[in-house]
Amino acid sequence: MKHIYLDHAATTPVDKEVLKAMLPYFSQKFGNAMSIHAFGKEAEEAVDKSREILANFLHCQTGEIIFTSGATEANNLALKGVVKSYWNKQNTKPHIITTAFEHHCVLDTCKSLEKEGLAEISYIKPNRDGIINPLDIKKAIKKNTILVSAMYVNNEIGTVQPIQKIREILKTKNYKLQTKILFHTDATQAINYFDCDVKKLGVDLLSFSGHKIYGPKGVGALYIRKGTAIKRIMDGGDQEFSLRAGTQNVPGIVGLGKSVSLIEFKNAKKLLSLRDYLIKKVLKEIPESKLNGSQKFRSPNNANFTFADMEGEGLVLGLSMKGIACSTGSACSTGSLEPSHVLLALGMKPEKAHGSLRITLGRDTTKQEIDIFIAKLKAIVARLRKISGNVLKEYYLENK
């Protein structure tokens, strides 16, 4: 059976060059980067090199890069660290603005801050195309607003948010605030396809993860603009400029640096063509199918559909039995029976949201694989709708 992987938003395979760069740091160059002897200095140099690669990519200073265990930790540090710093100086509860369709690690962090009485949160809903209106953020700003967190590219429907326009709103209005409004973006799904120059974006904090860009799992980074008021949320050693305690994951950090160095935006053009081909074929050949989110303002590797009269889990399992990997949404929510919070935020009814399917392409995806996928998908959709129709018919006859 030929296996086709169309779930690159969940994770990507480690690039051969990335693996090659990492291997020596598991057994040959195994020193602790905080040790002052030769073994430690060798590891420290590797960490510094990766930090420089990331700084060049983001157009920032090396001292503004903090290595983490991934985007989840980076997002937690960004939000909780800013709130913690604020409470050290103020006696009033701060206000945070975020969006209703952020990744769960941002939403759950916000809910945790709310529950503990540490922050007041406003959740901005996107329009039906999955785009946040910057004016809605403007309307939500209060005197105690200290942070806006809006993801660059949505992890489920792939829509691209107007980050620079949001920044302009935060910069231009003369708010009577207690402190400057900081701006954070989760760029995990953007880093491989969009310009993440932090100066152009105008963000104060930006987070991303290695395993979405053909790097290793368990490593990520948080950019923190110099001068940003933030406190550590994990106590221990003085690693990462005293902002992230714990022995540095040297092989992972080396792999992250290498994966960032291999990013080529020209690959996005090939994916864009394949993605548009996929969207056109699905909408044409499968009745009652709908693309979720704007096609224009969308990541080149993402296509998210809703199919009427079926469950997305059934589609995923049916495709998996045919050797094809897709998902219904975020990999972090696979165990949940709840409909996608992203689709609900777009105004979709729960029964419709259950029938979603996310297809995310990778740099090695081919047109032939897309054709095979669509053929298998058509057959599975037809079969599941037939089963669904029979169940509804039996229910109607029993309750007539």
Mean pLDDT, the chain, rounded, equals: 92
pLDDT, tens only, 264-323: 887 788 899 999 999 999 999 999 999 999 999 999 999 999 999 888 899 999 999 999
> In the chain, what are the domain boundaries?
4-11+265-398, 16-261
Going along the chain, which residue ranges are E strands? Answer: 4-5, 65-68, 95-99, 120-124, 145-149, 182-186, 205-209, 220-224, 289-291, 302-307, 324-325, 356-360
pLDDT, tens only, 58-69: 999 999 999 999
Query: What span, in angstroms and rounded, lies between the C-alpha atoms of 300 and 191?
Result: 12
Q: What topology is assigned to 4-11+265-398 in CATH?
A: Aspartate Aminotransferase, domain 1 (3.90.1150)
Task: Confirm if 393 and 385 have CB atoms less than 8 A apart.
Answer: no
Whether 331 shows a pLDDT value over 60: the answer reads no
pLDDT, tens only, 110-124: 999 999 999 999 999
Q: What's the pLDDT score for residue 363?
A: 93
pLDDT, tens only, 230-239: 999 999 999 9
Mean pLDDT throughout 125-135? Answer: 97
Q: Smallest Cα–Cα separation from 313: which of 242, 380, 382? A: 380
Question: Pairing between strand 65-68 and 220-224?
Answer: antiparallel
pLDDT, tens only, 92-104: 899 999 999 999 9
Task: Confirm if 368 and 357 have CB atoms less than 8 A apart.
Answer: no
Q: Which CATH class is domain 16-261?
A: alpha beta
Given 105, 196, 326, 332, which residue is catalytic? 332
Whether 351 shows a pLDDT value over 70: the answer reads yes
- Asked if 332 is an active-site residue, the reply is yes
Instruction: Give the angle 206-215-366 at the CA atoms, nearest 5°.
Output: 110
pLDDT band at residue 338 using 50, 70 and 90 as cut-offs:
confident
pLDDT band at residue 391 using 50, 70 and 90 as cut-offs:
very low
Q: What's the pLDDT score for residue 400?
A: 52
Mean pLDDT throughout 188-211? Answer: 97
Whether 211 shows a pLDDT value over 80: the answer reads yes
pTM of the predicted protein model: 0.93
